[in-house]
Amino acid sequence: MEPNGGARSPRRTYCVLKPNRLRLATFVAASFTAALATVAPLSAAPALAPAAQQLGRTTASVAFEASHSATADEATALHPVTVVLSLRGGGRLARPLTVEVATGSTAQAPATATAGTDFAGVRQRLVFPRGSKDGATRTVFVPIQDDTLVEGDETFALRLANAVGGALGRRTAHVVTLTDDEHAEFDFATSTSATADESTTSHAIAVLLDGTPGATLANDLYVDVERVRGTATPGADFTLTTTTLLFPAGSPIGATVDATLDVLDDGDSEGDETVGLTLRDPSAPAVLGTARAHILTITDDDFGPAPTVLGSARFLDVDSSGTANAGDRVVVPFTDPVIVGSSATDALALLVADDTFGNGATLSAGPAANEVTITLGVGAVLKARHEFAVQSLGANAATGIDVAPNMASGAIAAAGGSDAAASSALDLVAGWVNTGQALGSFDARAITVGDVDGDGDLDAVIGNLDAPNTVWTNDGHGVLTDSGQLLGFSATRDVELGDVDLDGDLDLVVGNDAQPDEVWLNDGAGFFTDSGQALGASNTTGIALCDFDADGDLDLVVANSLQANTIWFNSGGTFTFSGQAFGANTTNAVALADVDRDGDTDVIFGNFIEDTTLYLNDGAGFFTDSTQGLHGRSLAILAGDIDADGDVDILRARDGANTVWVNDGTGLFDFPGQILGTDMSNGAVLADLDGDGDLDLASADDWGSDHVYWNDGAGTFTDSGLDFGYDDSSAMAAGDMDGDGDEDLVVASRTGGCRVHHASLAGVWGSATLVDGGQALANGLERGLDTGDLDGDGDVDLVLAMDGANEVWTNAAGAFANTGQALGSATTTSVRLGDLDGDGDLDLVAGNDLAGDRVWFNDGSGVFADSGQSLGTAATSAIALGDLDRDGDLDLVVAAAGGQPDAIWWNDGNGLFTDSGQMWGAVDSRGVELGDVDRDGDLDIAIAVHGGGDLVWLNDGSGLFTDSGQSLGLADTARLTLGDVDRDGDLDLIELFDVSATSDARLWLNDGSGQFTDSGQSIGAGGATSFVLADVNGDRVLDLIVADASGENLWLGDGSGGFGAATSIDSPAVTVVGLALADFDRDGDLDLVSARDGSPDRVLVNR
């Protein structure tokens, strides 16, 4: 009998292993062979009684050394599995211990491998002889059998049972994984195919079973075929009849199965169309190969009516010069695919008198099948400043392009069909040119632009998901170079630039996924240092900076996914959690705007699953849920005045359809049903992309090319057709990267780096022509004027400074009407508009001569009430508003004539002013301008002095001023202005001389530190009374309009600090006391208002 009381099997065979020799106790060859070939089910093994009943209190046990092992591949001949002896208390075995080991399965790991096919079954008894030590081992070798089947990894188990002379330990089962060395993958047999024509009833597309040569499938495998993109329409152009393909068991590697697509003949002339297919969801163990995409072209066999021009022609500034040079291109789209039979450009007509494609221009096909391209020649003249109108065909009118009525046959024609025909001419717009720059090679998820190195151009910071963030500096012409900085090592989802420590440069805040957000401080030269702040540890998806609590510094809002969104207050560049946490939604993005027009900034969260949510600011940085839910999910969220009605609307970018939500003026939003696009927009920007004064949309798309949508000015968007980029965009930023004055686009890519696309409105902007609009405003003794949106309707209104009651004129579509308000009764010498009380509308300060300056509050509708304040008693000659002490409100600077000191008045944030006690310059001051002349982040003061040199006072950042020691010029200066005339990134100064001088003005160039040098230029011939500096002709260079004895004259800037010859605008017979430029008619360019003493003011419209 066996020790456990069971009967001894008469033919059971086992090995007794002794040290240094092997003694076969009983050997029956036939039984041993049978044991290897036949696996007895483990459930048939005799049940074991508890160890204490078998052996008393045993001290010996056996177990598998490991619970799992795997073969390297199926070619492994023998796979070893080790059993180990354990002796509690040490010592040696007093008597032999034997244990049975057999292959099979367990309840926890059922065998998937087949005995006799994948491996040879084993059932044998292992012997640990008397005297064996603790830790002694015995090894079982399982024969592995190779096959040629694709079956995936398989498993079987070994179990220990029937221990004699000891107990079974804890690990009585061992699972062996047989690693399959045959593999299979699914690919399309070809990457492209085409139908002969639309009459093809059925088109087969072969899918290939690829993998280990000579292998076959052990089981049925499946793979899905899906349409992912293309220009053909399902149900109209085709039907994909097979979506799941079966490769049956036994299929060899190299087998193919066809996906079938039925082609539908629609009879439409539409050109060739495409169907994009992809493979998905393969059955295991097969995987998808690299050739998982296929493009089918459905060849059109219908020829319809003559192609005509459609949409907008686009100008491409190929050399990024900012002008229309030879080699630049104009792309003209048609209704249908076309072929070009001649390179002569006379196939197209330019309808405006002075337009030309230039000498040597050529015509070619593309880039799209329905487009042709004109490569410009020398002397090209085109204009995109306004929309083409058939009634405006004279010189300087907007360009219109059409097919020439006498075009030679075949010059432009449908493919195999009719010649193109004239129809309605196209307008010309500026398109974007890929500069070929690839900023990095990482998975970029965020991009922001700003002047990080203080050189006057826009640099870029890229947030990467799989690598440190990078900083790229601009050479001023749009060429970006890696600065070599590697910022952080976290998975970044958003980056934001802002001066968080108030030292005058842009710092960086980084939002990270599952890591703390970071703050990097700028040294002013564009090099960043980690501040050491670790803000939270959430799944940050978006961040934004804003002064929420009105204390003068930038606070932070953090959008998190599946965790609460948070607000962080800033104090000296250090952020502290405000205690505010909003929801726990799948937030993807955050936007900021004063949606309820109460003078503070509110927060909009775009959520991926939940509705968009809106939180209102109480003015102190504490937020309340508005309870509005803008239905639908978001990937990006944008805010801006889309319909030009004076309030902030919302645009939500998402997968499938971007949507516009319109504000009713009180912060309540409505969806009018406008849907833009069908791709997945991961990011987007709102910006004036076509220079017409309204906000257009550009979207960074992941399912197709990036898109641009034009705004009609009333908030209705149309697809521009200006698609660019690839189908991997993750974020987008807009800015004038090349310094030509229009919006360029920088697009982040998931598949590596960022791309830079340059536009050039300047190249096709045309010249400026100011003509009298026929309006006569006021007729009194005027002293000056200021402009701004007084009634919140989105256009620019006027305030006139009078010798008596000041007047308010509101604008309606470029036509002005006197509101009848009479503000004050003193002699007002200067008026300035600004939001003095922080309620979101423009208030008024009137600078008076010896009568105390007055403050008037706006009720939001353009109606003003006297605040009751009378500031000082000086003979005020000019005033300026600006945040001098950086506390978030507008302070007042007063220039006084007659030797009285100039003064500064502090604003308490509510529009109540207190004398700062600073008084300087007991000179005859005639003008004042504010600007950051030394580029240290605060506003400095320039004073025009009559009878002496002009003065420059530098701000220490807290609103305390020190004389720079400069005395600019010796002439009698009547006024001055600041602006970057030479486009080097700092503010230059132009002084306007008194009417008695022999020249009008002089330019002083800034060296960047606030020190000015005489440029040597004297502008005009004398008798000047007023001037204004702005970009009049739209080339993004500052121009100068001067009113002098000869009339009102325009001096065009050349961008390098020089001005060309004067062009006469008007010749009034009276003194011009003030000039102001603004886009009064909202057509994208600057119009002029001329305030005239004793004669009606005139509005001159820019054509």
pLDDT at 6 over 60: no
Bridge partners, 614 (sequence order): 604
Mean pLDDT of the 435-461 span: 91
Tens of pLDDT along 80-112?
999 999 998 888 999 999 999 999 877 766 889
Q: What is the pLDDT of residue 416?
A: 64
Locate tokens 């960086």: which residue? 508
Locate tokens 């010592």: which residue? 91
Which amino acid does the sequence have at 191? S
The torsion angles phi and psi of 641, rounded to 5 degrees, stand at -80, 85
Range 1021-1043 burial, b when 16+ CB lie within 10 A, else e: ebbbbbbbbbbbbbbbbbbbbbb
* Residue 340 · residue 412 · CB < 8 Å: yes
Q: What is the pLDDT of residue 32?
A: 34
Distance CA 74, CA 627 (A): 63
* Residue 472 · residue 485 · CB < 8 Å: no
Cβ-proximal residues to 275 (8 Å cutoff; 6+ apart), any chain? 227, 230, 232, 237, 238, 240, 261, 295, 296, 298
Locate tokens 């000019």: which residue? 878
* Residue 913 · residue 885 · CB < 8 Å: no
User: Among 819, 772, 774, 779, which residue's Cα sits nearest to residue 799?
Assistant: 819
Return the minimum-mean-pLDDT range out of 207-221, 614-628, 739-753: 739-753
Distance CA 277, CA 186 (A): 13
Q: Which of 45-54, 133-142, 260-269, 486-495 has the highest mean pLDDT?
A: 133-142
The share of the chain scoring above pLDDT 90, in percent, equals: 56
* Residue 1028 · residue 982 · CB < 8 Å: no
Peptide bond into 10 cis (omega under 30): no
1031 versus 567: the higher-pLDDT residue is: 567
User: Among 826, 818, 827, 780, which residue's Cα sits nearest to residue 798?
Assistant: 818
Bridge partners, 1063 (sequence order): 1050
User: Among 612, 615, 601, which residue's Cα sits nearest to residue 635?
Assistant: 612
Secondary structure class of 657 (helix, strand, coil):
coil
Tokens of 732: 């987008």
pTM (predicted TM-score): 0.59
Mean pLDDT of the 277-285 span: 94
Burial of residue 43 (number of CB atoms within 10 Å: 0-12, 13-18, 19+)? exposed
E strand spans, 299-411: 312-316, 329-333, 338-340, 348-350, 362-365, 371-375, 400-403
Cβ-proximal residues to 1022 (8 Å cutoff; 6+ apart), any chain? 993, 995, 996, 997, 998, 999, 1000, 1044, 1045
Mean pLDDT of the 188-194 span: 93
CA pseudo-torsion sign 442, 443, 448, 449: positive
Q: What is the pLDDT of residue 16?
A: 32
Average pLDDT, the chain: 87
* Residue 926 · residue 932 · CB < 8 Å: no
pLDDT at 488 over 70: yes
User: Among 783, 792, 728, which residue's Cα sits nearest to residue 754?
Assistant: 728
Peptide bond into 367 cis (omega under 30): yes
E strand spans, 212-271: 216-217, 221-229, 238-240, 244-247, 256-263
Mean pLDDT of the 223-245 span: 89
CA 1003 to chain centre: 39
51 pLDDT band, cuts 50/70/90, is very low
Tens of pLDDT along 301-351?
776 678 999 988 989 888 877 678 899 999 999 998 999 999 999 999 999
Tens of pLDDT along 779-819?
777 889 999 999 998 899 999 999 889 999 999 988 999 99
DSSP calls for 400-446: EEEE-TTPPTTSEEETTSPBP---SPEEEEE-EEEEEEE--SS-EEE
Tens of pLDDT along 552-563?
899 999 999 888
Return the minimum-mean-pLDDT range out of 520-529, 657-666, 720-729: 720-729
Which amino acid does the sequence have at 981? V
CA 463 to chain centre: 11
Secondary structure, 3-state, 906-924: EECCCCCEEEEEEEECCCC
In 791-917, which ranges are continuous DSSP H helix?
Answer: none
DSSP 740: S
Q: What angle do CA 335, 340, 342 make, to 5 degrees?
A: 140
Burial of residue 632 (number of CB atoms within 10 Å: 0-12, 13-18, 19+)? middle
Tokens of 290: 């690299």
HSE-CB at 816 with a 13 A cutoff on CA atoms is 28
Angstrom CA distances, 432 to 541, 708, 724, 1024, stand at 29, 10, 8, 42
E strand spans, 736-842: 744-749, 754-759, 770-777, 782-788, 797-802, 807-812, 815-818, 828-834
Tokens of 747: 């697009």
Q: What is the pLDDT of residue 726?
A: 67
* Residue 643 · residue 660 · CB < 8 Å: no
Distance CA 108, CA 67 (A): 12
Bridge partners, 103 (sequence order): 158
Bridge partners, 378 (sequence order): 359
Q: What angle do CA 90, 96, 102 make, to 5 degrees?
A: 105
Q: What is the pLDDT of residue 765?
A: 65
Tokens of 537: 């540890």
Locate tokens 């360029």: which residue? 744
Distance CA 955, CA 893 (A): 13
* Residue 877 · residue 895 · CB < 8 Å: yes
Secondary structure class of 200 (helix, strand, coil):
coil
13 versus 509: the higher-pLDDT residue is: 509
Distance CA 950, CA 969 (A): 7
DSSP calls for 471-537: EEEE-SSS-EEE----B--S-EEEEEEE-TTSSSS-EEEEEEBSS-EEEEEE-SSS-EEEEEEEE--
Distance CA 676, CA 660 (A): 8
pLDDT at 21 over 60: no
15 versus 801: the higher-pLDDT residue is: 801
Tens of pLDDT along 755-783?
888 877 766 766 667 878 888 887 777 88
pLDDT at 58 over 70: no
Cβ-proximal residues to 403 (8 Å cutoff; 6+ apart), any chain? 308, 309, 347, 348, 349, 412, 420, 421, 422, 423
Cβ-proximal residues to 453 (8 Å cutoff; 6+ apart), any chain? 459, 473, 525, 526
User: Among 1, 140, 132, 125, which residue's Cα sits nearest to residue 59?
Assistant: 132
Structural Rg of the chain based on CA atoms: 40
Q: What is the pLDDT of residue 37?
A: 33
